[in-house]
Chains A and B, each alone.
Chain A
Amino acid sequence: MSSGLVELQARLRDRAEHHLRMDAMRRLRGDAPATVEPYDDHRGLFWRYLFVPLYRRIPWEIKQRAIKAGRMTASGWTPPSREPSRPWQPPDALKRP
């Protein structure tokens, strides 16, 4: 990939993450004590009112595929298997119905 494209990717990722984070903070803080509204300079209206709502409607599996297709994930790395062995199982009485 050219360095210009990498820079563009980095800038887009930075903007997208910022606005997604601000949106999540606004939603999650609810009435959590000691929190306030984040400072809002009313910039990034496209991101806030178009990108964020659209992104939130897309299921995670599709987002993951898009992130991979956009070559946003690391290359040259082995993804963790997270399958060490069969985990210890709780007694039958405690198992899910």
Chain B
Amino acid sequence: MSQRLIVIGGGGAGTAAATIAKRFDPDLKVTVFTEFPDIAYSPCGMPFVHGKEIPKFEDLFLSTVERYREDGLDMRMETAVTDIDLDRGTVTARNTHEGFDKLVIATGFTWQKPDVPGANLDGLHYVKDIRAAAEFDKRLDSYKRVVVHGATPLGVEMAGGLGRRGLQVDFVDEGPWALSEVLDPDVAEPVHKALSDRGVTIRMGTKVQGFVDDGNGRVKAVQTSDGELECDAVVVCLNKLPNTDLATAAGIKLGTSGGVAVDEHMRTNKDGVWAAGDIIEVPHGLTMLPIHGLTGAHAYAQGRTAAFDIVGRGARYDPVWIPWGMHAGDYTVGGFSIGESLASSIGVPYVLAKGVGVNKARYYPGAQRIHVKLLAEPGTLKLIGGQLHSAGTGVKERCDFLAFAAKRGATLEDIAYMENIYSPPIGALFEPMAIAAQNGLNELYKLERAAAV
């Protein structure tokens, strides 16, 4: 008799687990529960629809419910699972108990809510559900001023998008510069300038103290440590929190970052139960400290790992080196693993290698500088982190490469003398990463020579 897999959650991790498990074991009965009416769209694209860089929300859909059904999945849309009973092997949805042999919990995240008065007023928008985003987008046409609360990656994308749309945007955060939890201070200026160029007013070092009611239960202003900011709406972009309520009620163990603790096969502490995506925590490759709240690409890969384990193909998910990158206005920033700020806060020792190159041949039209900063372990010179930024292309690919290189133990010497493509429209004679690594090595050699004298 064939077994039944139930997947709770229709995001990247849940759909990956369901479709891949079904593909490799066609006899498996797979049911996906999602509380939302839609599935298989990219929430990461929503800020760019608000900013009119992507024409419409429909463009964000990658597949349809019908296609999943055609592939043999039992899709339960708008059906919230309210309970998991691991002893009986059932989940409860719409007051009906459904049995399972194997279970994947991929309930994703919830946004952190501001812990200040007025946080429940109408007019506070959270970027998550595509239908809510489409409704919000319609109302944006009648708005003049919007406050974006939280200089997180999403906050930066939303502020830049709404500014591009012509709205007056106040961008508020307690931190000393935008993206301060991931980005180093030497990149603050170009990021802030790029946002300012889109009409965004940057208000860093500023605390949101409350939301002011217009008398009808709707926000009309934001009270901050720097005064009151009138607004038609607030976009809240604080931190992602793992949505663990259902899992913890079922006795699934959490880890030290607040996400569900899993092993490298995405197995939880309960037999026959896997978890994947924004609900879980995974170890950082450098420190092995668990972290959560990574990207859609990570969620998909974790769902795939769970699926492989479920069908007995035994895949393993590696600790993460987190290549990341994004647009801040028209400027691109990125990195991998850790930057100077994070290394300094954890106390990880590092040596620096910095350099500036160009993303195409310097004579090719549109060539732009790429700034590269690499962090390496003193002594071994193995890469442990880095940050890159540019007004042009080429940041993303380099961050992906460097994360992989760091994971494989590459050193500053490897990068300094790496091979590279020289083709005027796409690459310069001297690779910016190699320039940075060579500069770093030269500084080290100088120090060592001085010490030897």
A contacts, CB < 8 Å to B: 1, 3, 6-7, 9-10, 13-14, 17, 20-21, 23-30, 32-39, 41, 55-56, 58, 60, 63-64, 67, 72-84, 87-90, 94, 96-97
Contacts and interface: CB of A to CB of B under 8 A. Distances in A.
B285 A34 contact: no
B185 A29 contact: yes
B346 A20 contact: yes
20 contacts: A3-B253, A3-B254, A10-B255, A13-B257, A25-B185, A32-B188, A33-B189, A34-B192, A36-B204, A60-B348, A73-B283, A74-B283, A74-B288, A75-B261, A77-B264, A78-B316, A79-B288, A79-B319, A82-B408, A87-B409
B185 A89 contact: no
Interface string B227-270: 00000000000000000000010000111111001111001000
B122 interface: no
Given A20-B346, A36-B205, 20 more contacts: A10-B257, A14-B258, A24-B341, A25-B175, A30-B185, A32-B186, A34-B192, A35-B176, A38-B180, A56-B347, A64-B287, A72-B289, A77-B288, A79-B319, A82-B407, A84-B409, A90-B413, A90-B416, A96-B448, A97-B445
A3 B345 CA distance: 28
A39 B417 contact: no
Contacts of A87: 409-411, 413-414
A39 B345 contact: no
B223 interface: no
8 cross-chain pairs, A with B, having the tightest CB-CB distances, nearest first: A76-B263, A82-B409, A74-B283, A24-B345, A32-B185, A39-B174, A36-B205, A24-B344
Contacts of B346: 20
A36 B176 CA distance: 5
B159 to A, nearest CB: 15
B181 A21 contact: yes
Contact of B177 (A36, A39, A55): A36
Nearest to A61: B349
A35 B177 contact: yes
Given A25-B175, A39-B206, A81-B409, A34 B193 contact: yes
Contact of A73 (B289, B409, B414): B289
Contact of B341 (A25, A33, A34, A83): A25
A21 B411 contact: no
Contact of A63 (B185, B188, B204, B347): B347
A37 B180 CA distance: 12
B251 to A, nearest CB: 9
B408 A84 contact: yes
Contacts of A29: 176-177, 185, 188
A41 B288 contact: no
A96 B445 contact: yes
B382 interface: yes
Contacts of A82: 382, 407-409
Contact of A80 (B267, B407, B413, B448): B407
B170 interface: no
A22 B200 CA distance: 25
Interface in B158-213: 174-177, 180-181, 184-186, 188-189, 191-193, 202, 204-207
Contacts of A3: 248, 253-254
A55 to B, nearest CB: 7
Interface string B342-361: 10111111000000000000
A76 B413 contact: no
Interface in B303-327: 316, 318-319
Contacts of A79: 288, 319
A84 B257 CA distance: 30
Contacts of A90: 413, 416-417
B189 A73 contact: no
Contacts of A9: 256
A13 B413 CA distance: 35
A28 B350 CA distance: 14
Given A73-B290, A83-B409, A97-B449, A25 B264 contact: no
A38 to B, nearest CB: 4
Nearest to B180: A25
